[in-house]
Structure 1
Amino acid sequence: MKTIEQLIRPNIKSLRPYSSARDEFSGEQAIFLDANENPFNKPYNRYPDPYQRKLKKKIGELKDIEAEHIFLGNGSDEAIDLTFRSFCEPGIDNVISIDPTYGMYQVAADINNIEIRKVKLTKEFQLDVDGLLAAADQNSKILFICSPNNPTGNCFPATDILSLLDKFNGIVVLDEAYIDFAPEKSFLPHLAKYPNLIILQTFSKAWGMAGIRLGMAFTSPEIIHIFNHIKYPYNINILTQQTALQLLEKADDKNTWVQELLRQKEQMSLKMKQYPFIQKIFPSDANYLLIKTTAPKEIYNFLVDQGVIVRDRSTVSLCEGCLRVTIGSKEENNALYAALDQYQNK
């Protein structure tokens, strides 16, 4: 397997990163006359910690992982983009992705002028391990796997993911944005064995922090070092860092929310089976259901008119006729059912 040293882009390897004032001094009890900051309007007048040390320490305690294995980004999308910029030479290298999956992998590939090779899931929404490996060549730098997958909602067998980690000759990005809702365990314990593994997680889903835009990447210190070299100096603002630290004290609330959403998901699955225009409800390990209908666009537009917004996924590979419905609060879900009752009776 190629080493990180072999996979990194040559210009990134030789890059001399920007050094901020807070790189040169990271203490707190001092008179700061080094960064051209305004001395008034504390604490917002000061640049934030560029490496989010307090926040990483807290996350490390929650995840049982050392801070040196943690990168924090402006949503998980920043880590996705940094992975492209770290390892893929524009116009030369390529990446491998499953299909269907999270759309930002395609967008990030297009922005960075990188070919993306998509390998369809099976009809049962499972990985085609042999197909993914066969799609790779000497210029394949990254493999993206989202588990639980978006929009299909299912986790992939650990044996398949391990097989790809053992055989793919590049970086494997495992996106675990929805892992808190899944019965399967996170792959975080595998980091020590696989230096080519990047695990993405987020505070946007189970933690209910989508509005503060905070994503996590867990990987080897070597890759963390590369990301820190090329990220913007102060990528996580002070408000996000402070808010996250406060909300992370409410881990019990997060666990309560997850259990309630899982109960609501089960109730929604049972309710949806009662409608004649619902053809299939796919198994889900996430906080949403992929639902096959007889008239997805008509149902979607009707729900919009009723002020209930779901996601039309009917044009996505293998998802023909499907809507993706996020599990909301009991009151929000009841509003969905009321709208669907009206659609059935119209």
Structure 2
Amino acid sequence: MKESFSLDALLRDNIRKLVPYSSARDEFKGEASVLLDANENAFGSPYSKNYNRYPDPLQHSLKDKLYEIKGVPPEQTFLGNGSDEAIDILFRAFCEPARDNVILVPPTYGMYEVSANINNVAYKKVNLTADYQLDLDGIAAAIDAHTKLIFICSPNNPTGNSIRRQDMETILVNFDGVVVIDEAYINFSKQPSFTKDLQEFPNLVVLQTLSKAWGLAALRLGMAFASPEIINVFNKIKPPYNINQATQEIVLDALQGVAQVNDWIKSTVAEREALTQALIKLPQVQHITPSDANFILVKLEEPRALYTYLVDLGIIVRDRSKVELCEGCLRFTIGTPAENALMLKAIAAFYSVVED
């Protein structure tokens, strides 16, 4: 187990001293017949179901159910309004504006940089290598006394590949700040989750989401898994009722559908392989990055023109052709068999017209 990590030394001074807001539902737990403590509307809601009472601020029932699925205890689980809330809290907890910095490894998820800018925190970019792996020497050289966070997305967005586990472990062992491993796409990968390693690495924060494999993107529920001490920091900073009651109820019900989700994952992986094999046969397709996610990054001829052509047909993909190390690439999310077939037909038609 890593011995050199000091959470207290990393925290911003104001966060270390912060006395969190104590809500009515923090001060009273249990059942009661008359609730007159939170200035709620006692008459109900103008809706078929009453939502006049504040929700559980720590989402105990939801975390208990996630424990059954993820194997991470509730005291090591934070639930946020998407993973983006957890990312923002990490900056606010550990990074002193205009003084501290974080390390990003592009091409990667763009919200890390956006959150850094919002919080006035400097970021150092250490590009991935040509095969989209970590540049360990470059990261080591970029770390200084004010480096508080390193963000690693694995499987990576927008490239789709998994980052080598040994390289991530090397950073966890040698970096005394917080290492954030974003596993938004882990359900589509054969790589094991780092949630199994939380006891070994006290400086580890693992991000996951219910927006991808679980099909609950509209509900905006993200997860952060870490030591109980780090989760306590998250809970100090978050708004009192950051996950609304309707979301808690719907997600709790949806979490009964593990078998359905597993079937969707198998179908997505099978379609990912089929789409890859079909695209690589096109002479205009130059390279497809092997993917462990629910999308593929494809380098091809005339990407911008193809993107516009597909948009005109109502087929929306992601243009990544101007992203460093993704030049000439479009990103295709894996759809249903019918959607994938429609897109393939459109791509073939586009290149047929171009060739003529």
TM-based fold match above 0.5: yes
Between stretches 240-249 and 331-340, larger displacement belongs to 331-340
Between stretches 110-119 and 32-41, larger displacement belongs to 32-41
Q: Deviations over 1:83-126 (max 9, x none)?
A: 00000000000001111100000000000000010101111111
Corresponding residue for 1:164? 171
CA deviation after TM superposition for structure 1 residue 28, in Å: 3.0
Corresponding residue for 2:221? 214
Corresponding residue for 1:330? 337
Q: Write out aligned runs for 1:184-333 (5 A).
A: 184-333=191-340
Corresponding residue for 1:179? 186
Q: 2:15 aligns with which of 12, 15, 40?
A: 12
The answer on whether the counterparts of 2:182 and 2:206 sit within 8 Å (CA) in structure 1 is yes
Q: Write out aligned runs for 1:63-212 (5 A).
A: 63-212=70-219
Q: Give 1:125's aligned amino acid.
A: Y
Report the Cα distance in structure 1 between the residues aligned to 2:173 and 2:137, rounded to whole angstroms.
13
Q: Give 1:259's aligned amino acid.
A: K
CA deviation after TM superposition for structure 1 residue 318, in Å: 0.5
Residues 30/4 of structure 1: CA separation in 2 closer, same or farther (3 Å cut): farther
SS state at 1:120 partner: coil
The RMSD of aligned alpha carbons is 0.9
TM-score with structure 1 setting the length: 0.98
Q: Deviations over 1:181-229 (max 9, x none)?
A: 0011001111001111000000000101101000000001111111111
Q: Percent identity between the aligned chains?
A: 53
Report the Cα distance in structure 2 between the residues aligned to 1:144 and 1:36, rounded to whole angstroms.
41
The answer on whether the counterparts of 2:107 and 2:127 sit within 8 Å (CA) in structure 1 is yes
Report the Cα distance in structure 1 between the residues aligned to 2:25 and 2:19, rounded to whole angstroms.
17
CA deviation after TM superposition for structure 1 residue 2, in Å: 3.8
CA deviation after TM superposition for structure 1 residue 43, in Å: 3.2
CA deviation after TM superposition for structure 1 residue 64, in Å: 1.3
Report the Cα distance in structure 1 between the residues aligned to 2:50 and 2:254, rounded to whole angstroms.
19
CA deviation after TM superposition for structure 1 residue 294, in Å: 1.2
Report the Cα distance in structure 2 between the residues aligned to 1:295 and 1:30, rounded to whole angstroms.
66
Corresponding residue for 1:35? 38
Report the Cα distance in structure 2 between the residues aligned to 1:289 and 1:156, rounded to whole angstroms.
15
CA deviation after TM superposition for structure 1 residue 345, in Å: 2.3
The answer on whether the counterparts of 1:125 and 1:154 sit within 8 Å (CA) in structure 2 is yes
The answer on whether the counterparts of 1:26 and 1:49 sit within 8 Å (CA) in structure 2 is no
CA deviation after TM superposition for structure 1 residue 276, in Å: 2.1
Contiguous gaps of at least 5 residues in structure 2: none
The answer on whether the counterparts of 2:161 and 2:293 sit within 8 Å (CA) in structure 1 is yes
Task: Detail structure 1 runs of 4+ shifted over 6 Å in the superposition.
Answer: none
Q: Deviations over 1:56-79 (max 9, x none)?
A: 000011111211000000000000
Report the Cα distance in structure 1 between the residues aligned to 2:332 and 2:32, rounded to whole angstroms.
50
CA deviation after TM superposition for structure 1 residue 306, in Å: 0.8
CA deviation after TM superposition for structure 1 residue 319, in Å: 0.4
Q: Give 1:183's aligned amino acid.
A: K
CA deviation after TM superposition for structure 1 residue 130, in Å: 1.8
Report the Cα distance in structure 1 between the residues aligned to 2:269 and 2:95, rounded to whole angstroms.
39
SS state at 1:324 partner: strand
Q: Does 1:23 align with 2:26?
A: yes
Q: Give 2:79's aligned amino acid.
A: L
Report the Cα distance in structure 1 between the residues aligned to 2:78 and 2:34, rounded to whole angstroms.
29
SS state at 1:188 partner: helix
CA deviation after TM superposition for structure 1 residue 140, in Å: 0.2
The answer on whether the counterparts of 2:5 and 2:202 sit within 8 Å (CA) in structure 1 is no
The answer on whether the counterparts of 2:94 and 2:148 sit within 8 Å (CA) in structure 1 is yes
TM-score with structure 2 setting the length: 0.96
SS state at 2:297 partner: strand
Q: Give 2:40's aligned amino acid.
A: E
Report the Cα distance in structure 1 between the residues aligned to 2:264 and 2:102, rounded to whole angstroms.
36
Q: Deviations over 1:138-176 (max 9, x none)?
A: 000000010000011111111111100000120000000
